[in-house]
Amino acid sequence: MKQGLTVVILISGGLKFAKQVLFWLGLICIGVFIACGINPDNKAPASIFELIKIGALPFNNFDSFFLFSEI
């Protein structure tokens, strides 16, 4: 019979990881916003901008609320 493995994640490690995810996600969002501002006729940044509006920004807000509601 095989024993199951358990993973222990400390609170400080989880908070550090969440902050890193928020930072890089925010940096990507800002980069796409700048790309849309520089060349608004290009369809690639405009399409990515729509995806960010639909998915990344609400996730960022939710994750920020969850992360900083404990502080």
Q: Give the chain's domain count.
A: 1
10 falls within a domain: no
* Domain that residue 25 falls in: 19-68
- Which amino acid is present at 21? V
Kindly state whether residue 4 falls inside one of the protein's structural domains. Answer: no
Q: Of how many residues is the chain composed?
A: 71
In a domain, 52, yes or no: yes
Residue 1 has pLDDT above 60, yes or no: no
Q: Is residue 48 part of a domain?
A: yes
Half-sphere exposure of 6 (CA within 13 A, CB side): 3
Q: pLDDT at residue 70 above 70?
A: no
- pLDDT band for position 68 (cuts 50, 70, 90): low
The per-residue pLDDT for 42 is: 86
Q: Can you tell me the distance from the alpha carbon of 29 to that of 31, in angstroms, rounded to the nearest whole number?
A: 5
